[in-house]
């Protein structure tokens, strides 16, 4: 399995709109990438760092899973610009992306 992980760094000045992300953006990811072989989407909401009461490093981490790397790359090449254009609707933070093979 292959995955793209999208990490949204926590920033005190950012007002991450979690409701929009869950209600609009995540369904958009599933709808647009489903035809390209999307297997599942995981959403993790940061609650704290390792020290009690500390801020999380990331406001949100999303894992987008595909069975093969070609499907992941082809799907993101086709639909990625639409998904990226939606980011300002829920955050002003620039996300970090990483492609991984899941063992």
Find out whether 62 and 41 touch, Cβ atoms under 8 Å. Answer: yes
Neighbours of 62 (CB within 10 A): 21
pLDDT digits 0-9 by tens, 22-66: 999 999 999 999 999 999 999 999 999 999 889 999 999 999 999
pLDDT digits 0-9 by tens, 84-101: 999 999 999 999 999 999
Q: Structurally, how many domains does the chain consist of? A: 1
Q: Provide the domain limits for residue 80.
A: 2-101
Kindly write down the DSSP assignment for every residue of 50-95, as one continuous string.
Answer: SSTTPPPSEEEEEEEEESSHHHHHHHHHHHHHHHHHHGGGT-SSPP
Per-residue pLDDT at 12 exceeds 90: no
What pTM, to 2 d.p., does this model score?
0.93
Instruction: State the CATH number of the domain containing residue 23.
Output: 3.30.70.100
CA distance 42 to 50: 21
């Amino acid at each position: 399995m292959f995955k793209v992980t999208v990490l949204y760094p926590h920033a005190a000045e950012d007002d991450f709109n979690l409701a929009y992300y869950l209600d609009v953006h995540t369904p958009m990811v599933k709808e647009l990438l489903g035809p390209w072989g999307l297997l599942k989407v995981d959403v993790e909401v940061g609650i704290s760092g390792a020290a009690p009461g500390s801020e999380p490093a990331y406001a949100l981490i999303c894992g987008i899973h595909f069975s093969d790397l070609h499907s992941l790359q082809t799907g993101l090449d086709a639909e990625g610009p639409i998904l990226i254009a939606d980011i300002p609707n829920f955050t002003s933070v620039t996300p970090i992306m990483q492609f991984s093979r899941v063992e």
